[in-house]
Structure 1
Amino acid sequence: MVEKFYVENAVQAKEKVEELVTKGYTHDDIYIFAHDKKRGSDINDALDTEEAGMKEQGFLDSMKNMFSSRGDELRSKMHGAGLTEDDAAAAESELDKGKLVVIANKN
């Protein structure tokens, strides 16, 4: 089951992560995306959540992302975290507005 949420900032992301943990998700099931790579990495580190990488995307997509635009990379990573391609595109447009995307996916 995949759940997706849009939040305004790291405080709201922290609240959402805590809510998801009480619903039975582990920190390894939760991904947080930000348009700015450093912001996303910092928030994932602070909240002990996962960053979508080779495990979620596969080797070829991970390598392709090294040469893709940030938007393409984000859509690919969100798709790897469990969103459909359409949902990933919609979520990427929310990232463009400065929001964070929280994805919970029990594999």
Structure 2
Amino acid sequence: MPIKRTVENGLQAKKEIDDLVTKGYTHDDIYVFAHDKKRANHINDALDTETVGMKDQGFLTSMKNMFTSRGDELRSKMEATGLSKEEAAAAEEELDQGKLIIIAKK
């Protein structure tokens, strides 16, 4: 069962990630999502967290995401980390408000 946390900014994200690491998660177990792709990449690089890729989603889903809207792509990636469709949809709404979503799974 994945852990999902919502934060407002990168500083809060760092604090939550540090907390997850003290609870036994590695940086490879932690994903940070932002609605803006550049912001997400910047935060993932700065905090040394994972991005959802082909190994998490599978080849076909990864290829499909290249041609879908950002919202559809984000929901698909969050589902690949273990969230249900409903949880991913709710999390994507939070991303629309400028928040960051942190998901940790082992």
1:41 counterpart = 2:30: no
Residue 20 of structure 1: how far off its partner (Å): 0.1
* Equivalent residue letter for 1:95: L
Q: Residue in 2 aligned with 1:30?
A: 30
Q: Secondary structure in 1 aligned to 2:24? A: coil
**Cα deviations by residue, 1:38-88 (Å, 9 ceiling, x for unpaired):** 000000000000001111111000000000000000000011111111100
* Equivalent residue letter for 2:38: K
Q: Secondary structure in 1 aligned to 2:32? A: strand
- Structure-to-structure mapping, 1:51-62, within 5 angstroms: 51-62=51-62
Aligned length: 106
Q: Residue in 1 aligned with 2:7?
A: 7
**Cα deviations by residue, 1:4-32 (Å, 9 ceiling, x for unpaired):** 01000000000000000000000000000
CA distance in 2, matches of 1:55, 1:84: 19
Q: Residue in 2 aligned with 1:66?
A: 66
* Equivalent residue letter for 2:21: V
* Equivalent residue letter for 1:41: N
Q: Secondary structure in 2 aligned to 1:6? A: strand
Q: Secondary structure in 2 aligned to 1:49? A: coil
CA distance in 1, matches of 2:33, 2:92: 9
CA distance in 1, matches of 2:10, 2:103: 14
CA distance in 2, matches of 1:54, 1:85: 19
Return structure 1 stretches of 4+ with deviation > 3 angstroms.
none
Identity of aligned residues (%): 70
TM-score normalised by the chain length of structure 1: 0.98
Q: Residue in 1 aligned with 2:91?
A: 91
Q: RMSD of the alignment, in Å?
A: 0.5
